[in-house]
Each structure stands twice: as structure tokens, then as C-alpha cells.
Structure 1
Amino acid sequence: MTTALLVAALLMGFFGSPHCLGMCGGLVTAFGLSMKDSSPAKRRALVATYHIGRLGSYAFLGLIAGLIGTTVLEPLMTGNNLPRILLGLVLAFVGVTMLGAPFLNKLERFGMRFWQYLSPLRQKVFPLNTFPRALTAGLLWGFLPCGLVYGALLIAVVAHNPISGAALMFVFGLGTVPMLVATHETVGWLRDKIGRFRLRQLNGAVLVISGLAVVFTPIVMSSMHGGHSHGGSHTTMDHSSHSDMSQMNHDMNPEMDHSMHDMSDDTETMHHAH
């Protein structure tokens, strides 16, 4: 896995975080209300704890996604260009979803069923006044259905191995942290800037372009290389023809010299006879 892929995951999390805030805002508010009796220092520590739990869940999901990619897809992708093509297509697909295409909505609805199934367990972590509860709440939070998370998991599937998948999802989660821990005023400022400059859409476009480049650039380069090889064959042919002509000249010269020598002898004989 390249550094570029990690950077893409980080930016995907950051620029997509306004969407995450829309889905997670109620949960963040509920967590905050449950910690109202704690001191400011303890609240900050509890907030850090449940975000550590959330990133841990993302890393675990990335590990599973990478494991699926290794065990299911790897046998099909040995000795061919399928890994590169699949990665490019996934990047382009995720980019299109960031541009607003509702491709992952059905997957979100399916995930909501699982989230509702966890409801009894979620109720037991309130109030978040202890670190074990905060950590458990964060671990559960990682399973909140989110199309952006599912898009990142698709990238983790083609990340070549489970460790890379876990690292990619952890970095993606880091990108979402600033928006989710910011104060109300800072949240408004971040959402305004990201929305005004269409940074989410810009990041989606970059992912689409990057994915297409991953798929098609080697094909174009291979075609160009093939053209150069054809030119090289033409040059070789010219060189071969030149060598053949030189050989013909070499073979003809002794015969011509011998004929000229015979003509000289005949002339000399006629001269003496005269």
C-alpha cells in the first residue's frame, strides 16, 4: 500500500466528515449530555477514549476487509493486472459517491438493521462517566451505518493485505476526528468552508481521476512503448538492408576487378601482336 493511498483515505475522511456529522451529530450530543456531571478534564479524556474505540472499530473492520480481499480476491489476481484495475475502479466508484451518487444508500439501510440490533447494548453504556463505558461506546459507534465508511472499506478490500486494510481504515477515521471533536462554532466554520469551496466534491473528483489514471495510464504507456518497438524494428530493417547491400558490393567487387584485369591482359596482347 502506498503513502498516496493513505493520504487519499485521510482526505476522504476529513472532507466527508460533514456528512458524518449529519449522521453522528445526535450520537455526539447524547455522549456529551451523558458526561455533563464530569469535570472538563475528565470529559476531554472520555471524548478521547470513545474516539479511540471508534478508530479501533474502523481498524478492525479494515482488517476483516483486507482479509476478505486476500483470501477471496487474491487467488483471482495472481499474475495479471486485475489488482491494479480493481483498485482503480474502486477509487473511481468511491469518488463518484462523494460527488453525490447514491450508490451506497441500500447498504446504509442494511447496516441500520444491524445498528438497531445493537440498541440494547448501546443503552447499557450510558451515562458515559467511566473510561470502560466510553471505550465500549466508541467501539459500538464504529458500526454506525455510513456510506462513506463503506466506501473506505471497499478500498480496504483491495489494499492487498489485512494490515494495510486496518491502517487505511484507521487513517480514514483520523480524518473524521476534527469535525467530530470541534466546538459548535468551529463545526460551523468547518462546514461552511468545506461546503463553500466544494471540497468534498473536489476530493471526489480527484479520486475519480486517480482511479481512472490507475486503470488506464499503464495501458497508454504500453501502447506507446509498442509504437517505439515498431520504430525500432524499422530501424533494424534499414540497418539489415544496408548490411545486405554492403555485402553485395563486397561480393561484386572481386569479380569486377578480375574482369578488368582480363581486359587489360587482352589489350596488352593485341598491342604486342601489332
Structure 2
Amino acid sequence: MTLGFWPAVLMGLAGAGHCLGMCGSLAGAFSLTVAPNRRLVTLLMYNLGRLASYGLAGALVGGLGAYVSAIGTPLLLAFRLLAALLLVLMALYLLRWHLGLMRLEALGQHLWRRLKPLAGDLLPLKNPWQALPLGLLWGWLPCGLVYSALSWALVSGSALDGGLSMLAFGLGTLPVMLATGLAATKLKQLLQHPGFKGLAAFILLAMAVNLLFVTWRQWMPA
């Protein structure tokens, strides 16, 4: 059960505000340490690394979900319910009705404490190519929105679909990350507009309901 390309992109776009808080300041800061004619290349390298980490994480959890499905364990039901729950929590976060999704960020702190010093060693950037490994490391920064997207990769059905869904999610975050580094304020304002976030939240809730319905049809006795 793959999330689909455009819904995954929408998830990334809808989380633009949170991305600004988590990664935007870094992108804006280090892009200023390189010459203006290299700024775009630096941002692209950083985000290429970040998306690569998302794709790898999606492939890993997608493969895990496929294995669980193949051996026929009821754990797959729990995975699907988790994915639906996190999607609802993400929609509530976008509407600012409930911010519990952000509490999930504590789950990745242990790994991040090991990676953060490595990322720090790459700063300040001496050339745009150093932004690629920086992005690879920064892609593992604990993030509730990323974990929500990963839950869908978990039930995607394969490592390939899981990786692709996370790459699509990463592409959705790309416009705001580039806009931050290049000071494109109008795009940032559009992606953070309450109307856009409300529409995205509605679509995400509809996707959660659809996942629950499909799961109910498959697991409930006739």
C-alpha cells in the first residue's frame, strides 16, 4: 500500500513551517558563508544529501514492513494503525489543534547525539561540495513530521516503494528549504498560509480514513 507520489509531496509541502524551524536556519546560515555565485549549488548539495538520507530511511522501514507482511504476522495491522494515527496527528499539528506529534522527536535523540558532532566538524563550509555530507547527516535530525512520513513508508509494501515515498516527501520540503537559503519570502509565505495548511490537513485526514477503511476491509471477518 504505497502512499503515492503527490500525497507524499503534499506532506512535505504542508510541513514547511516546521522545516523552517528545524533546518531552515542552518540552510540560511551556511549559504551565507559561500560566495553568492555558489549559494545555489551549496543549497542543492545540502538538500541532495538530506533527501538521500530520507530515501535510505524509507527503504529500510519499507523493507521491514514488506518482511512483516510476507511472514503473515498481525504486526502489519499495528503498522497500518500507527500510520493512520500519525497522519491524523500530522493533520492536527498543521491546524495547530494538537502538537503531540512533536513529542516523537525524542525518539531519535540517541542517534542524533552521535551524528551531531560529525555534522559540526563540517562547519563552516569551505566549498559547496561539503554541503553534501552535511545534508546526509542532517537528514537524521529527529523530526516528528519525518517520522510520520516514515510510518507510511513502513506500510508501502516494499523497500523500493518506501524509499520512493520518502524521496517524494523530501521533494515536498525542497521548495521551502531553497527559498530559505535564497530569501524567497513570497514562496515561504504561501506555504505557511493557513488556507494551504487547512487544505493539506483535510487531505491528510481523508487519507488516514481511507487507510483505516482498507485495513478494516482486509482484516475484519466477512
Normalised to the residue count of structure 2, the TM-score between the two structures is: 0.81
TM superposition shift of 1:172: 0.4
Structure with greater contact order relative to length (CA < 8 Å, sep ≥ 6): 2
Structure 1 pair 77–209 and aligned structure 2 pair: CA distance change class (3 A): farther
TM superposition shift of 1:128: 1.9
Structure 1 pair 195–52 and aligned structure 2 pair: CA distance change class (3 A): closer
2:51 aligned with 1:55: yes
Structure 1 pair 192–66 and aligned structure 2 pair: CA distance change class (3 A): same
Q: Structure 1: 5+ residue runs without aligned partners?
A: 221-225, 227-274
Q: How does 1:1-274 map to 2 (within 5 A)?
A: 1=1, 5-35=4-34, 38-40=35-37, 42-76=38-72, 82=77, 86=81, 88=84, 91-100=87-96, 101-182=98-179, 186-187=184-185, 189-216=186-213
Count of aligned residue pairs for this structure pair: 214
TM superposition shift of 1:61: 0.7
The structure with the largest alpha-carbon Rg is 1
Mapped contact 1:157–1:165 kept (Cα < 8 A): yes
**Amino acid across the alignment from 1:95:** A
Q: Secondary structure at the match of 1:198?
A: helix
Q: Which moved more, 1:26-35 or 1:141-150?
A: 26-35
Mapped contact 1:89–1:212 kept (Cα < 8 A): no
**Amino acid across the alignment from 1:13:** G
> Distance between the aligned counterparts of 1:179 and 1:73, measured in 2?
36
> Distance between the aligned counterparts of 1:172 and 1:117, measured in 2?
25
Q: Secondary structure at the match of 2:100?
A: coil
> Distance between the aligned counterparts of 1:105 and 1:84, measured in 2?
19
Structure 1 pair 85–144 and aligned structure 2 pair: CA distance change class (3 A): closer
Deviations 1:68-108 (A, max 9, x none): 21223542369xx9499646555445434444433333321
**Amino acid across the alignment from 2:8:** A
Structure 1 pair 39–29 and aligned structure 2 pair: CA distance change class (3 A): closer
Mapped contact 1:13–1:173 kept (Cα < 8 A): yes
Structure 1 pair 29–84 and aligned structure 2 pair: CA distance change class (3 A): closer
Q: Percent identity?
A: 36
> Distance between the aligned counterparts of 1:160 and 1:206, measured in 2?
22
Deviations 1:224-245 (A, max 9, x none): xx9xxxxxxxxxxxxxxxxxxx
> Distance between the aligned counterparts of 1:29 and 1:208, measured in 2?
32
**Amino acid across the alignment from 2:184:** T
Q: Structure 2: 5+ residue runs without aligned partners?
A: none
Normalised to the residue count of structure 1, the TM-score between the two structures is: 0.67
> Distance between the aligned counterparts of 1:45 and 1:218, measured in 2?
44
> Distance between the aligned counterparts of 2:215 and 2:151, measured in 1?
23
**Amino acid across the alignment from 1:135:** L
**What is the RMSD of the two structures over their aligned residues, measured on CA atoms?**
2.9
> Distance between the aligned counterparts of 1:45 and 1:89, measured in 2?
38
**Amino acid across the alignment from 1:207:** L
